[in-house]
Amino acid sequence: MVRIRNMEEFATLSGVSRPTVSKYFHDPSSVRPKIRAQIERALEQYDYQPNIFAINQNRKLTKNIGIVVPYLADPFFAEIARNLEQRCLAAGFQPTLYSSHGQPDLEVGILSNLRRLKPAGVLLAPLGRVSNRAEIEKFCKDVPTVLFDSALDDVGLAFIGSDNPNLALQIVDYLCRSGEPPCFMEMKTPANPNANKRREAYLQAMAHFGQTPQIVKIEGIGWAFEEIGYTYGGAALASNAFATNTILCSNDRLAIGLLSACYEQQIRVGMTPGCAIRVAGQDDHPFSRFTCPPLTTVAQDYESISAKSLEILMQVIDGGAVDAAKTLFEGRLVMRQSA
């Protein structure tokens, strides 16, 4: 059977103009009986299921696309947002950036404002476990929305993100091969919704390589990860909380703060003779190659995540179907001097 991706292709195959097909889906009785019968024969023949957003909103939408992230000051989200913004502009749409600043109520308020603006679609990185799931689910039923970075199961058109087990497997494999197995440093109350997934991925990777895991949980609340890594990671260093001389941080920003604490405590970091510990992170933060020493990490695929997120949203805006409910991209090991 021919696979129809959007309403334009269905119109061509049915021999009816695109505006007439759109008019039929909005109100079948508004189309002449002969044309209506022709469309319905084509529907039966090709088993085409039109996109509900294209039917109900196509003629009422603006050319705006909302981009919502948890914390725009976070360089990871800033880089993703920059990438999405450029792709939206290239596609002829006007992107508008929003930051929920880690606040569930603000996240809901942003979605309420977007609903009134009638955007063509929304690209949403939700806060995760603290999000108001019911409100987000309700919004996603009314507005074409693709989630990225943090998933809410069965919410939105699709989820695009990183394969956290793959990221952990790569960095743990490298660290175990090149020195002592890594301890894992994370916050007791993580703000980043991926933190719990990364802990589980670390545990799985350590088990895969036959190593004994050690997790060090540090204090700190909120998104000031560098300050938290510096203050509480530094306290963990001073109290000899790490069982090995290798520390894998939950994200690069914690690792950057820890590097500063190491410098203050006169602890040399790296692989060269005289170095006391190794420090690694996850994400490939835009500043990670400029730390001292440059930070070993595993990179998320910014380009692919942003490209796929917008590709799926454009498919739906154009009346097509979603190819996959979830797409996860593998990471890339970045070896630098810190580990």
Task: Name the average pLDDT for the chain.
Answer: 89
**Which of residues 128 and 306 earns the better pLDDT score?**
306
3-class DSSP assignment, residue 299: strand
158 and 169 co-located in one domain? no
**Which of residues 150 and 290 earns the better pLDDT score?**
290
183 and 227 co-located in one domain? yes
What share of residues in the chain are helix, strand, coil (percent, to 5)? 45, 15, 40
- Report yes or no on 199 lying in a domain: yes
What sign has the CA pseudo-torsion 58, 59, 60, 66? positive
- Report yes or no on 268 lying in a domain: yes
Q: Domain holding 73: CATH number?
A: 3.40.50.2300
Q: According to the model, what pLDDT value does residue 222 have?
A: 85
287 and 307 co-located in one domain? no
- Report yes or no on 71 lying in a domain: yes
> What is the rounded end-to-end Cα distance, in angstroms, of the chain?
54
153 and 229 co-located in one domain? no
Share of the chain above pLDDT 70, in %: 95
| 2 contact partners, CB below 8 Å, separation of at least 6 | 13, 46
283 and 317 co-located in one domain? no
Q: According to the model, what pLDDT value does residue 51 have?
A: 61
Over residues 24-29, the mean pLDDT reads 72
As for how many domains the chain has, the answer is 3
Q: According to the model, what pLDDT value does residue 192 have?
A: 76
- DSSP code string of 157-180: SEEEEE-HHHHHHHHHHHHHHHSS
Question: Is the model's pTM score more than 0.75?
Answer: yes
Longest CA span, the chain: 85
Q: According to the model, what pLDDT value does residue 60 have?
A: 56
Residue 91, pLDDT > 90, answer no
Cβ pair 250, 190 in contact under 8 A: yes
- Note the pLDDT tens digit of each residue in 273-332: 999 999 999 999 989 999 999 999 999 998 999 999 999 998 888 777 777 789 999 999
Would you place residue 117 in the very low, low, confident or very high pLDDT band (cuts 50, 70, 90)? confident
Q: According to the model, what pLDDT value does residue 250 have?
A: 96
- Note the pLDDT tens digit of each residue in 165-224: 999 999 999 999 999 999 999 999 887 778 889 999 999 999 999 999 999 999 998 889
